[in-house]
Amino acid sequence: MAAETTVSVVAAIVGNLLVTATKFLAAAFSGSSAMLSEAIHSLVDTGNGALMLHGMRRSLKPPDEHHPLGYGHELYFWTLVVGILIFGLGGGMSIVTGIMHIMQGKAPESAWWTYAVLGAAGIFEGGSWYFGWKAFRKEQRHGRGIMDTIVGTKNPITFSVLLEDTAALLGLFFAFAGIYLSTALKLAWLDGAASVLIGVLLCASAVIMVYESMGLLVGEGMEPATLAELRSIISADPDVQQVNHLVTLYLGPDDVLLAIDLRFRAHTDIQDIRAAVTRFRKAIQERYPSIRRICLDTTLIGIT
């Protein structure tokens, strides 16, 4: 797993720890629901970062008797858990808090230190976002856009950290606008509305995380263009007559299982078969190092 991914997660944890305490203090003194939502958001993000780091470490465990294909899917599982927590604890609580403040009609206190806390949080979150963006950029290939990369990547940590940090920065803007406008315009409900917007933002990012992580956990294969290239590599071997089916499965971001159903040419002896398998296995793994396991369906190999 790329070092940039680990750095981005650690940076996110450190950044969230630095701002969580200050946000809670600011929320307690100002009475701002938007600031409280931001504090809850940072607290949830801190725990989420720890869960993602735990999933990354668990996914690197070697195969054993009970998990012969390794623990790569733990990364997908813990990312799914993080998405659910963001939706429920982060987004849900922010929306509920905002609605309660709208009903109460109490305006927050606008003080310089409130904006100072938001500014400091923006600096810390911006630094975390930078490391998350660097890790995400590693996944952008062939001019892919952001959404195409999120859909295509098999490492959900990269886009999860970026989504969290982007939502955090936008949330800070909403919190600032809610506190300022509610006091300047004497409209207390604007602060609560900002909290609701923060919650909706968190829920939207959580839905993306959950949907993509669920797909990876259920099982995703390599792209059709990659399968076509693999078929060409195997078919190019002189002893291969026909490639019937190719099945791939991501066991982790850099761990792919490839199953090949093929037919060798007639009158091919066992020594030639072994040589052919060695040749195209080497060619495949040189082109795609992430394909670590290659299986042949020997029941359909035609030998006469």
Give residue limits of the domains in the chain: 3-218, 224-300
Distance CA 272, CA 264 (A): 10
Per-residue pLDDT at 160 exceeds 60: yes
- Whether residue 134 contacts residue 8, with contact meaning beta carbons closer than 8 Å, is answered with yes
Q: Work out the angle at residue 267's Cα, subtended by the Cα atoms of residues 265 and 269, and round it to the nearest 5 degrees.
A: 100
Query: For residues 37-62, b (16+ Cβ closer than 10 Å) or e, as one string?
Result: bbbbbbbbbbebbbbbbebbeebeee
Residues of the chain with pLDDT > 70, as a percent, come to 92
Which residues face 258 on adjacent strands?
Answer: 248, 294
User: pLDDT confidence of 232, banded at 50, 70, 90?
Assistant: very high
Question: What local confidence, expressed as pLDDT, does residue 236 receive?
Answer: 92
Q: What is the pTM of this model?
A: 0.79
Contact 82, 63 (CB under 8 A): no
Residue 6 confidence class, pLDDT cut points 50, 70, 90: confident
Comparison of pLDDT for 107 and 164, the residue scoring more: 164
Residue 298: pLDDT band (50, 70, 90) is: low
| Choice between 12 and 284, residue whose per-residue pLDDT is larger | 284
Q: What is the mean pLDDT of the chain?
A: 84
Tell me if 280 sits within 8 A of 240, measured CB to CB: yes
Instruction: List pLDDT tens digits, range 38-48.
Output: 777 788 888 88
Do 3-218 and 224-300 agree at the fold level?
no
Instruction: Give the pLDDT band of residue 248 (cuts 50, 70, 90).
Output: very high
- Mean pLDDT over 76-103 rounds to 86
The predicted pLDDT at position 304 comes to: 46
What's the CATH number of domain 3-218, 1.20.1510.10, 2.30.30.40, 1.20.140.10, 3.40.50.2300? 1.20.1510.10
Residues 120-140 have pLDDT tens digits of 888 888 888 888 888 888 777
- How much is the pLDDT for 110? 60
Instruction: Report how far apart the first and last C-alpha atoms of the chain are (Å, whole number).
Output: 45
Angle in degrees, CA 79, 84, 202, rounded to 5: 100
Please give the CATH architecture assigned to the domain spanning 224-300: 2-Layer Sandwich (3.30)
Over residues 242-259, mean pLDDT: 92
Query: What is the 3-class SS of the chain, one letter each residue?
Result: CCHHHHHHHHHHHHHHHHHHHHHHHHHHHHCCHHHHHHHHHHHHHHHHHHHHHHHHHHHCCCCCCCCCCCCCHHHHHHHHHHHHHHHHHHHHHHHHHHHHHHHHCCCCCCCHHHHHHHHHHHHHHHHHHHHHHHHHHCCCCCCCCHHHHHHHCCCHHHHHHHHHHHHHHHHHHHHHHHHHHHHHCCCCHHHHHHHHHHHHHHHHHHHHHHHHHHHHHHCCCCCHHHHHHHHHHHHCCCCEEEEEEEEEEEEECCEEEEEEEEEECCCCCHHHHHHHHHHHHHHHHHHCCCEEEEEECHHHCCCC
Task: Judge whether 19 and 42 are in contact, CB under 8 Å.
Answer: yes
Mean per-residue pLDDT for 212-218? 89
8 Å CB contact between 189 and 100: no
Residue 109's pLDDT band, with cuts at 50, 70 and 90, is low
Encode pLDDT of 190-214 as tens digits.
888 888 998 898 899 899 999 989 9
Q: Hey, what amino acid is at 83?
A: G
What is the rounded average pLDDT of the residues 21-44? 75
Instruction: Please report the pLDDT score of residue 141 as a whole number.
Output: 67
Split at pLDDT 50, 70, 90, the class of 301 is: very low
The region that residue 105 occupies, defined by phi over 0 for left and psi between -120 and 50 for alpha, beta otherwise, is left
Residue 250 has pLDDT above 90, yes or no: yes
Q: Quick one: what percent of the chain has pLDDT higher than 90?
A: 21
For residue 303, pLDDT beyond 60: no
153 phi-psi bin (left φ>0, alpha ψ -120 to 50, beta other) = beta
